[in-house]
Chains A and B, each alone.
Chain A
């Protein structure tokens, strides 16, 4: 018998129950569950996300573009739970094939999504506490809300903008700041520098900041949400910039997704979020590694 697979049974049962609970939560609050193709002609160009090719198309890295085309066509509240693929991502919290939950709401912004996160967690954990790797996380209180600027001043000796200039922003977030977030209660880290949010809306009164946030629980980055950029001209410009950088790195020209940009003209103000199901299951089953919450990892196959 394959013992390591047999040992996963308890966690895989919990995983199934968690996904059923999430699905019920969204359906009961008036969301429509959507399925969109996993294999698509083109993902949004993102400098640090590499899609896996599938013949001359690609596997989607997230259902984001298709979900937003649905918003543009008048679908108000939609969600999807699906596998996604990102090349070369393999670690204790990364698998090249993983499962995302995404939900989108029209006529809402990122603040509404933060509230959704609180509601979803309370629905998943009615007894209001989470014990993860000796860390007791209180879900009774509102989640901590911390701007990127405040996080840098609290946990580092530089500022977010200086860190970007010094090219050490990602290291400071991942190595220094992230392990300290969401410990006593979940943390919502928000208001990112606009250059770090290619599909997010800028704040009306502070154009250097994007209305983007990340949810952290027990030091684990769990979700990324934002108010959607709905200006097709600005979106095209951002895609072009990113496509140019990727083309330089790969020595191959990169197209931008025209059908999406075309539909964006009709899209109402909206907000959307992606939450890693595997990491959520890690948290709720006290698993140290993502390998423990999926039946098979690439190495097992």
Chain B
């Protein structure tokens, strides 16, 4: 069990049986009053963000989460299907849980899946992924308003800004932490 003095940003605790991560934390104490622990909490299942204030003396159950190496197999109506390569167990993550990470998944990609019990609640992607540009209009010379970049769409439907020399069909590298273009990939 954790006590209030253990609370800090990044700590994962159980609230009403669901895992929550502390997204923001501060200690406060009104004059002559009692110690208050102000937390901004994110529900790791729903993504919901909310504030809660605790008093000293309260205790918290750690949220036990496990990260497992898995391979992305395919997407179907049930969601995004991943497989543990050692046990061949499959886990399905919903589109909602994946958020923007879904745009960086390629078939057979190896990722880390965060599990709460048997339930997949998030993934950690490789830092760089290679995706092919499917739509990008040629750059209009003289269009200086946009600088030297132009909009593009990659095979997963993700939209980003790319340099003017990138054409449709080009394979590009994207940083999954920022979602930004890194470089062209030589084929």
Contact = CB atoms under 8 A, between A and B. Distances in A.
Whether chains A and B associate is yes
Interface stretch (B28-36, B146-154, B168-176): B28-36
B51 to A, nearest CB: 8
B27 interface: yes
B53 interface: yes
Interface string B113-139: 000000000000000000000000000
Nearest to B34: A48
Contacts, number: 53
A94 B38 CA distance: 13
Nearest to B38: A175
A178 B36 CA distance: 13
B33 A169 contact: yes
B85 interface: no
A46 B29 CA distance: 14
Nearest to B27: A91
B27 A170 contact: no
Given A88-B5, A88-B35, A174 B30 contact: yes
Contact of A48 (B5, B27, B33): B33
Contact of B26 (A47, A48, A92, A169): A92
Interface residues of B, number: 15
A109 interface: no
A194 B147 CA distance: 66
Contacts of B29: 48, 89, 91, 94, 174
Interface residues of A, number: 24
B28 A224 contact: no
Interface in B26-75: 26-36, 38, 53, 56
Q: Which of B29, B31, B33 has the most CB atoms of chain A within a 10 A radius of its CB? A: B31
Nearest to A192: B32
A197 interface: yes
A171 B54 CA distance: 9
B28 A174 contact: yes
Given A171-B53, A174-B36, A175-B53, A224 B31 contact: yes
B27 A173 contact: no
Q: Which of B34, B35, B38 has the most CB atoms of chain A within a 10 A radius of its CB? A: B35
Contacts of B38: 175
Interface string A159-203: 000000000011101110010000000000000000011100000
B30 A173 contact: yes
A93 interface: yes
Interface string B13-30: 000000000000011111
A93 B35 CA distance: 12
Contacts of A170: 30, 33-34, 36
Nearest to A223: B31
A295 interface: no
A195 to B, nearest CB: 10
Interface string A119-161: 0000000000000000000000000000000000000000000
**Closest 4 A-B residue pairs measured CB to CB?**
A91-B27, A170-B33, A224-B31, A173-B30
Given A47-B34, A178-B30, 12 more contacts: A46-B32, A48-B34, A48-B35, A88-B5, A91-B27, A91-B28, A91-B29, A94-B28, A174-B53, A196-B32, A214-B31, A221-B31
Interface of A: 46-49, 88-94, 169-171, 173-175, 178, 196-198, 214, 221, 224
17 contacts: A48-B32, A48-B33, A48-B35, A88-B35, A94-B27, A94-B28, A169-B33, A170-B30, A170-B33, A170-B34, A171-B36, A173-B30, A173-B33, A174-B30, A175-B36, A175-B38, A214-B31
